Chain A
Amino acid sequence: MAEKVRAEKLLGECWPALFAVTVLFIMGVLDLYSASSGTESSGWLPIYARQALFFLVGVGAGVVVLLLDYRRWVEHAWILYGICVILLVAVLIVGKVTSGSQRWIHLGPVAFQPSELTKWAMLLVVAKHFKSIPAIYGRRTLKDALKPALATALVSGLIVLQPDLGSAILILLISGSTIIFAGLSLGSLLKVALVTVAGLPLAWRALAEYQKRRIITFFDPQQDPLGAGYHVTQSKIAVGSGGLWGKGYMQGTQSQLHFLPEHHTDFAFSVWAEEWGFVGCVVLLGMFLLLLMFGLYVASRAEDPIARLLALGIVAFFFWPVVINVGMTLGLMPVVGIALPFISYGGSSLLVCMMAVGLLLNIHTRRFMF
């Protein structure tokens, strides 16, 4: 390793990302404090304090990711992938049943979600794969994309079995968009689209009546006014009643009275929107936008094509959950269990987000070094 990452260089060149992440984290803890007030904490620390602790652990993990050259990380992508597959299988076998699905691996007092780590590993896997595949006139074919597509399908399949549909969808979206950015030709994309469009009705016909019904409810929650539909209506009331300036911190009646389901995880944004209003929401979304734009800037400045691909992957890594989660709380998207990065409560998610940021900074600080 020729060059060490210097702190002043990091601050000088990467401040937008550091700033955005810090502000988002503070917003998240504030929001959690409000959302969890009044509920009895079940763990060894209050929820917001646990989140802060995870953030510190996340900073540590981000620094570890940053210290080792990103090319090294990419080199070992498949090993990491193997570990993830083993963990995912293990979680299916021994995973303790938590709220109806098996997602966690328990290591003493710490529970870890392998599906989160898998999201991060998939970024490296896609980069590693395309590193060795030449692009003719800057284009790649479907055959070039087969291996990472299969690798993605395998892990998403294992995650669906948990069952954690939200994480599986996220991995498909993140890996899928990264693969597309690896230069798939327009023809290839058309082929995929055609096969999908042709295959869907066939698959639909093969489904049983109750399975169809479940899928319809999934995409149109209004069909189930008692479950998901009710949650969405309550979330919209929370968001809408926030108005321009919000009801004020700790003043959100919807969330304080517990009408909102999952208000410290999937619906954390609704709590924020009720208490901080339109202005607060725009600031929060602005921070995400800043982080994403920085990611795109990193991609555009990188000389190394693999670094560009990796940076775009990280952008996708943050873009999809933000759009889906916020869209869900605003009634624009189906209700899926997808967390809002940095804001929703969840140690594994926060940790892995910090690792993704670490990877992004890693690329940026080493952009001239090859």
Chain B
Amino acid sequence: METLAWNGDKDSREFPPSRKAIRFATFAILAAFLVLVFRLWQLQILEAETFERLSEKNRLRLRRVPFPRGIILDRKGQILADNRASFNLMVVPAEMEDPEGVVTQLTRGVTLDKESAISSLIRARKAAPFKSMILKEGLKWEEVAWVETNRMNLPGVWVEVEPRRYYPFGNKAAHVLGYVAEIPDEVLRQWRNKGYRVGDKVGRTGVERIFEPYLRGREGGIQVEVDAKGRQLSVLQEVSFEPGSDVVLTLDMELQHVAEEALGDRAGAVVVGDPWTGAIWAMVSHPSFDPNLFSEGISQEAWRSLVESRDHPLTNRALMAQYPPGSTYKIVTAVAALEEGVVTKDTPVLCTGHYTVGNREYRCMKKEGHGWIRLRDAIIQSCDVYFYHLGYLLGPDRLARYARGFGLGQITGYDPEGEKPGLIPTSSWKKKRYGAPWHAGETVVAAIGQGYDLVTPIQQFVMISAVANGGDVVVPQIVERVMSPEGRVLVSFEPKFAGKVPASSTTLKLVKEALKGVVQDPRGTGQRARVKGVEVAGKTGTAQVVKLTERVRQRKVALPYRFRDHAWFVCFAPVDVPKIAVVVVVEHGGLGGIEAAPVAQRILQAFFERERG
């Protein structure tokens, strides 16, 4: 007992809790219970009649009031995505005594699959009889009018207005905007605690997805009392909806149109923007799709044909397509070689039309060779042998360091979830991936952007912008600002940078001069990008898809489409103080200087014409 006794003194009564405290607790508890009983009295005795009436057949209905999604505009205020009224046919299954009869009635004025409508109604009568359900989405005007005039004969049926996403430009800039569709189960599971529910429409790609938290508003709701026929008697409670915030893009719809037209029917991608800030003015991916299909509730077949199409119309090629950079990569090789001191601008290299590493021979694009050639001319004429040699001297890992320094082979940050990283190989990568050591021949090929090298058009935009702006690696962005419904600016454009290119300004100036020659010099490969009155600097690229035989190389045989080379052109203008950077890739287009450069030319032309007014 001793061990258990504590506070051994006899006056333990003086230790708290005191009698006074216990008395206080008693009164507090009695008071709280009194409040509860009073409230019960109020609900069950005083207001019993009201609640009895409401409970009979449960006369309380919950009507959701959908919110309009925020609008998306281009930089000049043109509306790219907004909402249009769509009419849904709503029913409360429990309010129809005779579902078959009502559906038969309905088919007189509304196009409806009778059998499936009846069976889903009968199912709902068992599962959730008082929950309103959508019988048909997207009623036509005549159907709405018909239902409204015949409402008295259609108990439990009404028409509900719902805002539906609408893209006035259809498939133009569709990949930038993205589309809106019903929330998939796996996303819902993660977002449930953010207030998402089954059947909610959410942005699935593009700006619609990236800015979903802003574009989404808040649903409102009304609790109404209805009579036995489902007619509204009184509103018990109402909370209004909140519209989503509007998103203004840096996109310039005029330039976008020009770019789409310039690319035309060919598959490929175009990225246009400000090389100093990374603001994107146009982004084309072709083939495209019509995002309106999704807001209308796309049919199974239409969906499948989009997803399974060999052209991949849903893929944003500017972000997701990974191509070998081809000769555009020579920009990186040149910078690396100058910085690492393996050559100077005056070191001559002899091009005999081919270059031998071990027992293999690598060809130059000019069969008879360029003779003794220096850096500037090698870039202007896109001499492969010169760059084979540079690659040989640099080795894969030094080359890769500069490529990554330019932002290649990694996501740019434009849309981390929707971008592909591409690939810049290193010797350790190859060891890990293939378990084999690196061959010198592979460096030689990598130096002209072939072999394992893979980049996306948006990465190329970052690369060429860095050359244009003197070494800043920009993070491309598409949103100018986000405005709340009250007009408050929630987000505004702020240039972001991922780092600096590891190169001195002298090196970059040298390369820039050479890139000017590519377009302006009479021997340049990119002459088709010339614009009157503006000096343009750029680089062509022809990315091989398959190894070519001599016969094909001489263009004696037409290659099947899917084996043809990809045509690249990356450029900026004016050379001195660049205002615009453009990247063009034409899938299986052939020569970059012939297929891709003219696309860039048309965009530059339109841009500078407008500049001059």
Contact = CB atoms under 8 A, between A and B. Distances in A.
Given A225-B62, A225-B237, A237-B55, A306 B44 contact: no
Contacts of A13: none
Nearest to B127: A258
A87 to B, nearest CB: 24
Contacts, number: 179
Given A281-B40, A300-B22, A304-B12, A226 B17 contact: no
B310 interface: no
Chain B interface size band reads 35 or more
Contacts of A323: 32, 36
Nearest to B242: A213
B192 interface: yes
Interface in B218-251: 219-223, 236-239
B47 A240 contact: yes
B17 A225 contact: no
Contact of A244 (B1, B25, B45, B192): B45
Interface string A158-194: 0000000000000000000000011100000000000
A238 B48 contact: no
A360 to B, nearest CB: 14
A122 B396 CA distance: 64
B193 to A, nearest CB: 7
Interface in B20-44: 21-22, 25-26, 29-30, 32-33, 35-37, 39-41, 43-44
B485 to A, nearest CB: 13
B43 A236 contact: yes
B125 to A, nearest CB: 12
B39 A330 contact: yes
Contact of B7 (A100, A299, A305): A305
Contacts of A244: 44-45, 48
Interface in B129-143: 129-130
Contact of A233 (B130, B220, B236): B236
Given A253-B56, A292-B29, A300-B19, A243 B44 contact: yes
A305 B15 contact: yes
Contacts of A182: 16-17
Interface in B59-84: 60, 62, 64
B302 interface: no
A62 interface: no
A241 B55 contact: yes
A69 B130 CA distance: 56
B35 A332 contact: yes
Contacts of A237: 51, 54-55, 58, 60
B185 interface: no
Contacts of A364: none
Contact of A135 (B15, B25, B36, B40): B15
Nearest to B194: A210
Contacts of B36: 285, 323, 326-327, 330, 332
Contacts of B41: 278
B14 interface: yes
A22 interface: no
B60 A234 contact: yes
B62 A222 contact: no
Given A292-B29, A315-B29, A303 B45 contact: no
A345 B39 CA distance: 24
Contacts of B223: 225, 229-230, 233
A2 to B, nearest CB: 6
Given A182-B17, A278-B44, A332-B35, A2 B239 contact: no
A293 interface: yes
Contacts of B192: 100
Interface in A108-137: 131, 135
Given A233-B60, A234-B60, A330 B17 contact: no
B546 interface: no
A296 B22 contact: yes
Interface string A275-303: 00110011001001100110010011001
B5 interface: yes
B22 A240 contact: no
A140 B237 CA distance: 49
B488 to A, nearest CB: 11
Contact of A183 (B18, B30, B52, B56): B18
B219 to A, nearest CB: 7
B116 interface: no
B237 A233 contact: yes
A205 interface: no
A183 B48 CA distance: 45
10 contacts: A135-B16, A238-B55, A259-B58, A289-B29, A299-B25, A305-B15, A312-B25, A319-B32, A330-B36, A370-B5
Given A254-B58, A289-B33, 11 more contacts: A182-B16, A225-B238, A229-B221, A234-B60, A239-B40, A277-B44, A278-B41, A293-B29, A300-B19, A312-B22, A326-B36
What 3 A-B pairs are tightest by C-beta distance, nearest first?
A: A240-B51, A183-B16, A305-B15
